[in-house]
Every structure is written in structure tokens, then in C-alpha cells.
Structure 1
Amino acid sequence: MNLKFQGKPVKVSGNTLKAGDTVPDFVVTNNALEPLSLNDTKGVRIFLTVPSIDTPVCDLETRTFNEKASEIPGVTVYTISMDLPFAQSRWCAANGIKNVITASDFKDRTFGKNFGTYMDDLGLLARAAFVVDSSNKITYVEYVPEVTNQPDFDSILNAAKKAK
């Protein structure tokens, strides 16, 4: 997979996923400093990976999904980054984020590696989106080719609306 960060190629570790794959397990850290794994999630889910929640592009993405998530009943949105849970919690509180769950992959990087978004040289996650149905099948995948660009909001939301 060829991804770029600010126009420069980046090496990404892990498995490249595609629609139809079974979502891999992971363990991230929630804002209460507790482990959060795939088994702790259910229903239709949107998993977003971002380099850092407290940057303009990631901020806009998370705010957009916070607003749009409330329009799709039964869909849970997760934003995963390498930011520490303290920073994520503070950012969410300061920005009124109530419809997106943030979690950190800082400890084990299992999300980044299992979903093919861990940028080795930068120690950050590449921007990507994964829609997962209630039977843990991936129905939509987007690895954003230029990490500093936004994902295709409409395609992700439409895939989530269609997932069961």
C-alpha cells in the first residue's frame, strides 16, 4: 500500500484489510485507562484511525463524525490514535464530543498493526476508516492515500447505513 504523509512516502506496518474480511481483534486503551478490545464493541461500528486528534484535519474529521453519528441509529464511531488517553479525554471535553468514542493505541499498537495503519517511521496511525457490521465483517475500507487529507465522509456514512 502506498501512503504519503505531507507528500512523502511512509512505511506502514500490518495487514492491509479489505471489505469482506473478518475484523481482527485489538486492544486499545480507553479514556478511563482501561483496555478496550473488539469483544467490548458490538453492532455496526465505524473505526477511524487518525495521526493525532488535536490537529486541524483530525479535529475536523472527529467533529464531523460526532455530528453525523447521531443521524444513524445503532452505529457506534470510534476514533483511534496514538494520543495518550488523557489528551483524548481533554480534547473531547473541550470540544463537546459525545457521539464518538476515542481510544489510544499507544501501548501495544495492536490496532495499527492489525489494521495496517501503523506508520513505522512516525510512530503514528495513518488515516483510515473501517465499517464493521454486527457479525464482525468489514463492509467498507478506506486507507486515505495522503494521510493529511480527509476521508470520504459520505461513502463511510453510506456504508454504515447499509451495514446490519
Structure 2
Amino acid sequence: MATVTLKGNEIHTKGSLPSNGSQAPAFTLIKSDLSSASLSDYSGKKVVLNIFPSVDTGTCAQSVRQFNEEAAELDDTIVLCISKDLPFAQARFCGAEGIDNVEMLSDFRDGSFGDAYQLTFTDGPLQSLLSRSVVVIDENGKVIYSEQVSETVDEPNYKAALEALADA
């Protein structure tokens, strides 16, 4: 179990993120057209997982905007923005914001992504949502960077995640 905070109050997740050097856990998530996307679909590319509780909060929305801006300049890299928001809400947000350099994916159907990455909140007001985190995976499926944001209302360390990509 990992402990983070929400506005200073402790909340917990199922466990810890995959460690650097480990094989990224497989997953299947739902796209905006309700089709499935799996980690294997991105084989041969570097993958940034931008994970957050809900795109309908300011910090989560900002992380999508920031990674959308950064992703435009990345070669052979895909940024996947993952939450339990319904795909319709994710698509609405991207349409309204002009977001087109990232792919939105939802774990709403069965929560298996949150289980595989140990990011599902187990208590507190965000129980069953995903903890704000970033995981960077190289083209061979190995984790090269991970961050679980210790204070949920804070943004992730974009610079460190992008530097991990540059070093890969």
C-alpha cells in the first residue's frame, strides 16, 4: 500500500508503482470510440502514461494540456492520458480544449489498469479512482521512470518524465 495525501489528508493506494527496469504490466483500456487499446498496441514506441483521478479537476486537466503541448515535439513517443472518466467526458474535454497530441483512455470498465499498476485509491473521498502518477515506458516495454505524486492536488514533474525519455 502506498500513502499519498489529498489536501494534506492521508489516502492510500493498492500498492506501489512498477519499479524502474521492470517490465511494464500489460493493460487494456477503453478509447473514446469504446474500442479497446492495449499496451501491446504501442509496441516499438516510447509510452508516457499520464494517470490521474478525473479530467474534470483543474490539476488533471492541466496535466493533459501540458503533456499535449510537450507531446507535439516528441519522436516515436505516445502520451496516454488515463483516468476512470467515461470516454465521452474525455472526448468532450479534448474537443473543447483542442487536445490532439495525446490519446485519452479510460479504466472505467473493470479497473484492471488501476489494479495492474497498483494505483487505485482504497480509501478517502477519491476511493476507486486512480492516483496521480506518471510512468514512462521505453520501446522494449521496460519502465524507465515512474512518479506517484505525493500530494494529489499537485502536478507531476513533467521535466523529469521528459528527461527520462531523452535519456532512453
Structure 1 length-normalised TM: 0.95
- Corresponding residue of 1:108: 110
Q: Which runs of 4+ in 1 moved over 3 A?
A: none
Identical counterparts, % of pairs: 35
Contact persistence 1:23–1:132 (CA under 8 A): yes
- Residue 37 of structure 1 corresponds to which residue in structure 2? 38
**2:21 match:** 20
Q: For residue 8 of structure 2, what is the aligned residue in structure 1?
A: 7
- State the superposition RMSD in angstroms: 1.1
Structure 1: stretches of 5+ with no match in the other structure: none
For 1:151-162, what aligned pairs fall within 5 Å after superposition?
151-162=156-167
**Aligned equivalents of 2:122, 2:7: Cα separation in 1:** 15
Aligned length: 163
User: Superposed, which structure 2 residues align to 1:116-131 within 5 Å?
Assistant: 116-121=118-123, 122-131=127-136
1:73-128, Cα deviation, whole Å (9 max, x unpaired)? 11100010010000001110110111110010011111111112111232210000
**Is the CA contact (8 Å cut-off) linking 1:27 and 1:108 kept in structure 2?**
no
Alignment partner of 1:22: what SS? coil
Q: Is the 8 A contact 1:15 1:113 kept in 2?
A: no
Counterparts of 1:85 and 1:120, CA distance in 2: 23
